[in-house]
Structure 1
Amino acid sequence: MDEHRRAEHRRAEGGVTVGRAAAEIGVSVRTLHHWDELGVAQPSGRNQSGYRSYLSVDIARLRRVVLLRDLGVPLARIPALLTAPAAERRAELAERRRELGDTIERLEAVARSVDRLLEADELGVLVPEDERQAVFGDDWNPTMAETARTRWGDSAQWAEYAERSATRTPDDWRALVGPMRDLVDELAEAKRAGVVAGSETANTLAERHRAALSEYFHCTPSMHVITGRLALTEPGMADTYDRIEPGLAEWLSNIIDANARSHGVDPDTAVWE
């Protein structure tokens, strides 16, 4: 069939409008216009009014373009690939499959991270139940995280705590708990030695305590004042400190207040930032 007869055949076939073609293959009209301008896929028919239209062969090409685009083939590469030898097409598809495999692995890792984050937001600590006492010691209270979540679960600090918790292993928790335990012992020893609030030694200890809390969520001097007050008022917290050294909870709150003043914070007007 010569070119003239092929053209006549296309006109007789009629084809479909750009809107109909776009709807049929699931893209926008703007996309088809863009592909037309780039020479990726152009309509080859004419309707009765003389406007260009998409024939069945064009629709078939468009479907292949969509498939290759969805596989990640760059748009500029698609026209050559559509007419490339079979070996070249297969090599391209194999490369895309390898890339998809890598993407799937990354997404699965992200999904696992999201699962851990959701679990950490719910439980607070992602340490197997049979390991918790070994990690956190005899003072471990299984209801502590639930109590904290009930009270603070809507705060930015709980979100930050959960995000950090989601990435921590039992060994990571041991690395946090051990130094905090040692610090509390130093606080008790300082109180017994008569260290007074506002002294250089007391301020250094208060700053170390704030830094230890900041491993769980960022803790400003103003927020530190409030956590010091919580040590006095939160059920069980004062008892935990005072079992180590009588009056330790109140002494700790006092040195935190004095240290906050050295940072320009008035403890009486401290806010949770």
Structure 2
Amino acid sequence: MDGYTVGDLARLSGVSVRTLHHYDSVGLLTPRSRSAGNHRIYSDADAGRLRQILLYRELEFGLDEIAAILAEPDTATDGHLRRQHRLLRERRDRIDTLLDAVEREMGARRAGIALSAAEQLEIFGTARFAESLAGVEDRWDEPMASADLQRRAVAYTAADWREIKAEAEANIREFAEAIAAGEPPTGAVAMAAAERHRAHLSRWFFACGPGQHRKVAETYVADPAAAADWNDVAPGFAGYVHSAILANADRLDAP
């Protein structure tokens, strides 16, 4: 016997016999012939049509929509494949966007920031400060520093974060004023600002010795987009802070 019985096609396609019967009853997939005993016999063309149906079902099209698509004149297999390829790429992009959002939220929860989105917006000007902090943490390769940050951050109140922000902004101004005054990044003024930066991190986030501070310095220049944002504070800000931190770390490590 040429062709596939309904059981054969069910096994090949992974769908149930009941589903194939339903597709036949609604006219979506009617077998090309019947056996002498009036059993459904599906051809290779029927199997190909089922493959198209299942791909569109995977893309969450309704049966009526699929029937209309497959009934379009002058749409050969290549046309369906191109359409499905485009739809699958769009679906993948949507999934990637959702995954990114979920991963950011996971990172924010891992960081343990005890602030609502409204509080984050009020204090930091963004409702995603916790996600940003978790992203910085992910760039470090020091497990102890990350664990320390998580342990401390979960206990901070909104008042604590306001104080942290005020200290950080004062330190940023200190660097910017040093740049404006023409102070060299390896000079005493810049190194004093770098030391206050290190003390701020040690006080609020993690034990930050000279070695760890050097790794923090790299975050200012490693990402061109982030460096560009820092350079909006003052021309060359990212590189200046990087150099000042390294100079101060060398000073602290000197015998």
Aligned residue number for residue 246 of structure 1: 235
Conserved in 2, the CA contact under 8 Å of 1:232 and 1:249?
Answer: yes
Conserved in 2, the CA contact under 8 Å of 1:198 and 1:255?
Answer: yes
Conserved in 2, the CA contact under 8 Å of 1:121 and 1:159?
Answer: no
Distance in 2 between residues matched to 1:244 and 1:139, nearest whole Å: 22
Aligned residue number for residue 64 of structure 2: none
- Structure 2 vs 1, CA of residues 247 and 140 (structure 1 numbering), >3 Å: closer, same or farther? farther
Query: Which stretch shifts more, 244-253 or 129-138?
Result: 129-138
User: 1:153 deviation in Å?
Assistant: 8.6
Query: What RMSD over aligned residues (CA atoms) do the two structures have, in Å?
Result: 2.8
Asked whether 1:125 is paired with 2:125, we answer no
Task: List per-residue Cα deviations over 1:18-46 (Å, max 9, x = no partner).
Answer: xxxxxxxxxxxxxxxxxxxxxxxxxxxxx
Asked whether 1:157 is paired with 2:145, we answer yes
Q: Percent identity?
A: 28
Task: List per-residue Cα deviations over 1:173-208 (Å, max 9, x = no partner).
Answer: 101111111210111111111111332212211100
Aligned residue number for residue 159 of structure 2: 171
Aligned residue number for residue 30 of structure 1: none
Distance in 2 between residues matched to 1:222 and 1:146, nearest whole Å: 21
Larger of the two Rg values belongs to structure: 1
Conserved in 2, the CA contact under 8 Å of 1:203 and 1:259?
Answer: yes
Residues 62-73 of structure 1: matches in 2 within 5 Å?
A: none
**Structure 1 gap ranges (5+):** 1-117, 267-273
Aligned residue number for residue 197 of structure 1: 185
Task: List per-residue Cα deviations over 1:125-146 (Å, max 9, x = no partner).
Answer: 2211111021123596563134
- The TM-score with structure 1 as length reference comes to 0.49
Conserved in 2, the CA contact under 8 Å of 1:221 and 1:263?
Answer: yes
- Structure 2 vs 1, CA of residues 255 and 119 (structure 1 numbering), >3 Å: closer, same or farther? closer
Aligned residue number for residue 214 of structure 2: 225
- The TM-score with structure 2 as length reference comes to 0.52
Aligned residue number for residue 223 of structure 2: 234
Distance in 1 between residues matched to 2:110 and 2:128, nearest whole Å: 18
Aligned residue number for residue 41 of structure 1: none
- Structure 2 vs 1, CA of residues 200 and 119 (structure 1 numbering), >3 Å: closer, same or farther? closer
Q: For this pair of structures, how many residues does the alignment match?
A: 149
Secondary structure in 2 matching 1:223:
helix
Residues 1-273 of structure 1: matches in 2 within 5 Å?
A: 122-137=110-125, 141=129, 143-152=131-140, 155-214=143-202, 215-234=204-223, 236-264=225-253
User: 1:238 deviation in Å?
Assistant: 1.4
User: 1:147 deviation in Å?
Assistant: 2.3
What code does the residue aligned with 1:223 have? Q
What code does the residue aligned with 2:114 have? L
